[in-house]
Structure formats: structure tokens, C-alpha cells
Amino acid sequence: MSEQEAYLTARAKLIAEDRAQRLDSSLLQVASAAELRAEEIIRATKAAEDKAIWSVEHEGVTNTFAGMQFLSAKHLVIKSKLFQILTKMPKGGLLHAHLDAMVDVDFLLKLTVAQPAIHIRVPVALTPENIKSVLPEFRGLPANEFTTTSAQSLTASDYVPQTWVNYKRARETFSDELGGPEGFDAWITGTLTINPNEAYGTHNSVLKIWEKFASIFVVKRGLALFIPIAVDYIREFIRSSVEDGISYIETRIGFFSEYFVGADGQQNVPHREYVMIFERIVNEIKAELAAQGRGDEFQGARIIYSTTRAFSLEEIEWYFEDCIRLKQEFPHLIAGFDLVGNENTLHPLIYYLEPLLRFRKRVEELGLDLPFIFHAGETLGDGSEADCNLYDAVLLGTKRIGHGFSLVKHPKLVELVKEKGIAIERLTSSMPAHPLPILLNNGVSVALSSDDPAIFGNMGLSYDFFQVLVASEVNGLTTLKGLARQSVEYSTLTSAQKADALAAFERRWTAFVDSIVDGTI
């Protein structure tokens, strides 16, 4: 063997060793002929689009490249053949999804305008000068508080600040100067979404983007709390997820107050009723799909009980108890417990140590299967409180880690999450400088997740799988399969349920691969 041959052999061995822990390494060894052929086709399509789409200039897009920041490139992604193929791919489970931000904003506004109880108010009459900074508030009101005076308009100079106006009327009476009803819709949409200019310009820092983020949830709260909207909203979320190839869901529901608002405008609907509505819709959709012979496409949905890191030690006690009560009544629906909100500014996990330890003990004593599934390490900080949340999430026995962006800094924690089988729930809107390749090459389990897609417009999981595929020359179709399988394997389903879900997944995967190979996709 010449020196050069010896070198090339050593090189191939080194690369294989470096990639040995990847989830696709073992899958490739047992891949079927059809899978290998599909892998080739996908890689060829990717290479062709890298030239045709991602290496040329596009009007209105600064600096195009594969895996670029999602918000600037969505219109290019949608046109891609690769993306169209991925929309047909079975995705497995969606394990990190905040219910408040899972449905397309246009759809939500259609639901809203159809509810006569929904009212809107602003702190000051809207003008061209202030419309970009004024945020609306929504509420479902009781019938006796409905506003009937037609004089009220949010854009009228005589609008009395903080007066509730019927949503539909507010829309219809929106002044021409501000664009009429379409101007109203654009304004509301702007308060519920993040656009590229905000994401990469004006709000391009962790602090600023969280401010916008938080304002969206505050604005949305009045709609999300209103039960008649919630019913259609949950149905649309699950249906659209299934259409995108997602067959199982664990969604985080934010329980931030004791009651939801009912159709009668009274804030007196307890959490258990909301959970029962959720269950009813899940069962309806399962039945519908089964009746259509599409039973493999949906295994169900569960709830990760989430409350906020903004609560004081006293305030949060009620929610621990509430979560346990719900788990006892709906053991099959409540999947775990989490704390949400900006880790960089709100309380770290260690702040809640005493009640968390107490909660964990009670859960054990009661024999409940109610794990922590914590957000942690969603930060650019190094050694900051948000970064250190990772230590506590792991020590407190978290089942998975939400985001864990900064996990890769921590060699001991990387070792521990692998040892303990903790998966990372990752979103992947932009790939450069993203830690996903580090996680994959280190053999850390990952569940790709969309997080808050309504805010960014990346509905479903197709965009996430797309970004993972195009931004890497290592990742291929087999990598995506491995990720989809992991999202089932690291769910809170029982072993038997997982086996069923994986069997269903494999049946669909085979059909998917065949359609790539025979070109019918």
C-alpha cells in the first residue's frame, strides 16, 4: 500500500470513528435497497437545488445560502422540490410545541371574527403615528357587557381609551386612513408574529426578541383563554399537524391563571374542563382517521402542564397541586410538568428548588408517572443563570430538555444526558452556528420541534427537517428518519405504545421511500 493509500484508509477510518455516535450510522447499516436509493435521490436533489436555488441571488433576499435564516427564505423554501417531498414525510412525534402558538394566525383571526363575544380595546385611539407601537387586548365578554353603540371605533378621535369594542365591529370601522378592515388584520397580525426585520434587525438580541415574544403571548392570551375559540383552535392544530406527517403530539399548555373564559364570557371554566375538551377533540380526530383507514397517521396527543417562571414561591404552589390533581384524573393525558418564560430574566430553576423537590417527592409517593420536562439552557450565556438551569434540569431528573441550546458547552452534562437517556427538543430555524451537528456527532438524542410556529410561520415540522437536511453535507434522508424515530422513542408513551407507534411509522416510511424511488411523489 502506498503512503497515499495508507493515508486515505486512515482518513476514512477517522471520519467513520468521528461519526460513529450519529443516529444515522447504525440505520445506514440496516437500510433497505429502496432506502439507499431514496437517499441517493434526495442527495442529488439537494445538490441540484444548492446550485439552482441557494447559490444564486434572489430579489429582496440579502445573501442567500442553504440553511439560511428561515424568515428571509420561506418563499424560496416553499418552491423547493426537496421541501415538497419533505411535506409528505412521516415525521414521528412533535414533542416541543406551545399550544398558544400552533395555529396559523390567519386561521385564528377567522375564528375570532366569528365570535360575537370577543371584544378588543387599546389604551389610546389608533393613529398612523402610533399604530406600530400600540398593542391590543382581547376578551370574551358576557352578553350583558357587549358593546352596542356603533359610534365606537378604535381609530376614531373620540374613542375612549380602554373601552371594549366588539371585534368584528372594530374591524369594520377601522379607518380608511389605516387601511380599513385589511389594515386592521395587518395590524393584529403584526402584534402576533415576528417578521424578518424584527428578527434580524430591530429586535436582533436575546433581550429584545423576548420582549416581542412576551408581548405576543400577552396579546394572544385573551383569545387563547376563550373556550369557544380554543375548541376549533385545538382541532386545527392537530389536523394540520397530521397533514404535515406528525403522528403524535406532546403540547405544552400554559396554565397561568385558575380559570378559562367560557362561551358566556365568565372566567369560571376550570382546567379539567379544558383538558376534557382537548381529549374529546383528540378522540374525534383519531376516530375520523381510523374510519378513513388512516389509523397509522395519528397515535394521539398529550399535555405537558406548563406554568410560568414569573410566579413567586407562594403563587406557584397552587399550580403544583393543580397539576397533580389533573394527572390523577387524566393519567393518560398529562405527560409532564414544565416552567416556561424567558430564562434569561425570570426565575431560574434553583429558585424553586424547595417546592420542586417537594413536588417530586409527592409525585413519587402518589406513584404518578409525572416527569419534569424542563426548558433549560435556551441562552447564549456562559455560566449565566439560564445556562446553569441545565445543571438543575439534569439533577432534578428531567425527562427531556427544552431547547438546551447551551448544552454543548458542558462536557459532563453531555455525558450525563446520554447516560440518562435525556433527549433534547430542538428547533432549527437557522442552521449556521447552530449546535445540532455537535449534538448529532456526539450521539445526543434530539427531537426536532417547531416550538412556536405561528409566530414565525413555520407551521408543522417540514421546515425544521428541511433546514437540517440542506445545511449539512453529512445529513441525509437516513438522518431525518433517525430523528423522526427518536421523537417517538423519547416521548412519554409507554413501551407498548411506542412499539405500536414505531411499527406504524415504519409502514408509512416504507411507502414514503417507495414513492421517492418510483418518482410518484
Q: Name the site residues for a second copy (rule: CB under 8 A).
A: 3-4, 7-8, 10-11, 14-15, 17-18, 20-21, 62-65, 68, 201-208, 350, 353-354, 357, 361, 380-384, 387-388, 391-392, 394-395, 408-413, 431-433, 437-438, 441-443, 471-475
The minimum distance between CB 348 and a second copy, in angstroms, equals 12
The minimum distance between CB 215 and a second copy, in angstroms, equals 17
Q: CB nearer to a second copy: give 154 or 393.
A: 393
Q: CB nearer to a second copy: give 53 or 285.
A: 53
CA nearest to 345, candidates 236, 466, 210: 210
Residue 518's CB is within 10 A of a number of other CB atoms, namely 10
The minimum distance between CB 403 and a second copy, in angstroms, equals 14
Q: CB nearer to a second copy: give 210 or 456.
A: 210
The minimum distance between CB 408 and a second copy, in angstroms, equals 6
Provide the grid cell at 98: 406551545
The minimum distance between CB 26 and a second copy, in angstroms, equals 16
The minimum distance between CB 155 and a second copy, in angstroms, equals 31
Strand partners, 93: 248
Is 30 buried (19+), middle (13-18) or exposed (0-12) by CB count in 10 A?
A: exposed
Is 193 buried (19+), middle (13-18) or exposed (0-12) by CB count in 10 A?
A: middle
Residue 232, SS3? helix
Q: CB nearer to a second copy: give 206 or 227.
A: 206
Q: CB nearer to a second copy: give 385 or 425.
A: 385
Q: CB nearer to a second copy: give 11 or 75.
A: 11
Residue 183, SS3? helix
Helix (H) or strand (E) holding 360: helix 353-365
Complete edge-to-edge strand list for the sheet that includes strand 300-308: 92-94, 246-254, 300-308, 334-340
Distance (Å, whole) CA 251 – CA 99: 6
The minimum distance between CB 64 and a second copy, in angstroms, equals 8
Is 390 buried (19+), middle (13-18) or exposed (0-12) by CB count in 10 A?
A: buried
